[in-house]
A and B are shown apart, each in its own frame.
Chain A
């Protein structure tokens, strides 16, 4: 009579390796967790006694706080480690940092790192659960999931939905996670950016490419607008921010041409007046704050589901430790 969710495995390093069923389970599990944040006492005793380390080699406010809320609302004990002022900045290698934490008997690591593959590297070397909170330009799976949850909330489905990712896909882990997740669940995915900000062979990931944002708006049900890092201009990928806004910015005037109601997502933080205008970001199309709320629920779901694959626990269950609740 007991119903179990399909397991995710030990780690969540990206959405590329997940099956559509696994992605659906995370989204479905996020639903009941949304309610927890609405309670007077915003805490459930799911991860009581578990220790989670948030290992952030790169500065991040939004993602780290969202993870921390998720962990705390599941009653876990959390420790935050930033690169600045820790042994990491004294030249300790990633694997040594991880092994030291492991020696202190932690249960999970949430890692943000500037190098693509860092989460995968860590996951293959320590027995704790590892969650990727962004690795270089590779993946940011929980962001992809929260974007999908937000789309599903609004449209009631992912399959068949037309989603266009607009902006700096070349350097974006958010773009990759969205592409893998959305394509897996049957959405139609497109990208739109100046060619200088699109990576080689992007079409082979199953997406179509729009050269102009007007075409993207005409085609899409939803736009996921990526942040344009100001360094990109210095690196010469775009000639100027003014031109970027004029040609690729999401403005109210452009959205007025949309043939259907359009949803606007943005992973934040926004550069208002560059990739997105304020009256769009704050307007009726925008679900940017709903994304933030969903972020906590999705991360709670991931934390909850990953604890199911801790090997020692599975062993206990086999030996009959579980009684009837």
Chain B
């Protein structure tokens, strides 16, 4: 493969403290050098002046819906949409139909991921057979087939005993257990955050305590077993505080948060907009503030999209009847850059870290830095570009975003996976719309 010189950008590699104005040289799909003023030699030159060059984003939590829900998304469309959002690796949740709980189904995801043009796809397998919460799946076999983690995805593991066994058994294969921390009994039938808004709307609420109990239990079991715990989609201030305490005590835990939980509070549900129906539910302003702080101080290691495509028919229902979920690939960087970085609440390098190196570490992936020898998974960002989120322009099959029509600043211009451009938005009208 030919040589590529990405020239003149602001190169940020937060994993190694790199933040310089310079060039990145790629050869044969791998990074060769990062420095100021590299000689082009025979390399193709990519002009990155005015752009940020950083490791490709890694999404620890995405629902690609294949097999079983292809009207929502396929691995091919999901990988393309992920690349459009700057993601070079995504971890696919196993809550498909049938669920990914054996080597064959893991193999299917791996193979379909290889065929897809876009982000690399890494499957997570179910913790329990059929995601039923009863018996462990064969961790050893699914890991051999390519699974990088185990999770019952979106379904809390009700049995503390099973959770303990999962954390212990996963140690043998050095994979994390991704957990949706929730006391299912307490949260049952809830469709939004339990509080004054749910009271006003007459909707059944999920109390914050449901997540706090789930997180506390999982952390206690992680401490007891020494297993690798990754808490998914943290939404409450108290859960964030528990994670902080656990980390101080040396518990082997990582945690993720989504853009919508960082930016939106339950008041937005006020007119029953099903685009705001997500799980866990949007909480209070106090929670969003605490989550932003936890993200900034590293308590929360990474940002997840929880990309959950839903067909418009499914969301075109009364709030109770509509499914949970929002797409996130193509909006996450832009909305977080706009509301956290432009406003000065978070350094750009920190945001990049939480979207690349952070999830890379949590998942134990060998991707997500700009070190020589690493695969050239790179994203080019235009931090100045202003555009409007238009779900009609998504590469995802679905449009269910809570950020439709929002003005944002910061845009993914080009995504390279293994040195190959899988997404080039530099010529798109969106980039040209910058004033």
Contacts and interface: CB of A to CB of B under 8 A. Distances in A.
B316 A116 contact: no
Contact of A200 (B195, B318, B319): B195
Given A93-B313, A115-B318, A117-B318, A138 B201 contact: yes
A9 B7 CA distance: 60
B201 A93 contact: no
Interface in B299-341: 313, 316-321
Interface stretch (A58-66, A102-110, A201-209, A292-300): A201-209
A117 B319 contact: yes
B71 to A, nearest CB: 16
Contact-size category for A: 20 to 34
A93 B198 contact: no
B196 A138 contact: no
Given A93-B313, A200-B205, A200-B207, A121 B318 contact: yes
Nearest to B318: A115
A205 B318 contact: no
B202 A93 contact: no
Interface in A91-134: 93-95, 113-118, 120-121
B194 interface: yes
Interface in B202-261: 202-205, 207
A199 B317 contact: no
A205 B200 contact: yes
Contact of B199 (A95, A135, A201): A201
Interface in B164-199: 194-196, 198-199
B198 A139 contact: no
A55 to B, nearest CB: 13
A200 B196 CA distance: 6
A266 interface: no
B195 A139 contact: no
A94 B317 contact: yes
A293 B201 CA distance: 29
A118 B318 contact: yes
A135 B319 CA distance: 11
B320 A115 contact: yes
A202 B197 CA distance: 10
Contacts of B194: 200
A212 B199 CA distance: 21
Interface in A1-31: 16
Nearest to B271: A120
A117 B200 contact: no
Interface in A132-171: 135-139
Given A121-B272, A201-B195, A205-B196, A136 B203 contact: yes
A109 to B, nearest CB: 14
Nearest to A137: B202
Nearest to A116: B202
Contact of A202 (B199, B202, B317): B199
A116 B203 CA distance: 6
Give the interface centre of A114, A116, A135, A173 by most chain B CB atoms within 10 Å.
A116
A176 interface: yes
A118 B202 CA distance: 11
Nearest to B321: A115
Contact of B317 (A93, A116, A136, A173): A93
Contacts of B200: 16, 176, 205
A63 B195 CA distance: 29
Interface in A201-257: 201-202, 204-205
Contacts of B202: 116-117, 135-139, 173, 176
Most buried by B among A118, A137, A173, A199: A199
Contacts of B318: 94, 113, 115-118, 121
B272 A120 contact: yes
B26 to A, nearest CB: 51
A113 B271 CA distance: 17
Interface in A64-97: 93-95
A176 B200 CA distance: 7
Contacts of A115: 318-321
A137 B194 CA distance: 14
Contacts of A95: 316-317
A292 to B, nearest CB: 24
Interface in B136-167: none
Interface centre among B198, B205, B271, B321 (most CB of A within 10 A): B321
A92 B416 CA distance: 45
15 contacts: A94-B318, A114-B320, A115-B319, A116-B272, A116-B319, A116-B320, A117-B320, A120-B271, A136-B202, A138-B201, A139-B202, A199-B198, A200-B199, A200-B205, A202-B199
Interface of A: 16, 93-95, 113-118, 120-121, 135-139, 173, 176, 199-202, 204-205
Top-3 shortest CB links A-B:
A138-B202, A201-B196, A117-B272
Given A94-B318, A114-B320, A117-B319, 14 more contacts: A95-B316, A115-B318, A115-B321, A117-B272, A136-B203, A137-B202, A199-B198, A199-B205, A200-B194, A200-B195, A200-B205, A201-B195, A201-B196, A205-B199
Interface of B: 194-196, 198-205, 207, 271-272, 313, 316-321
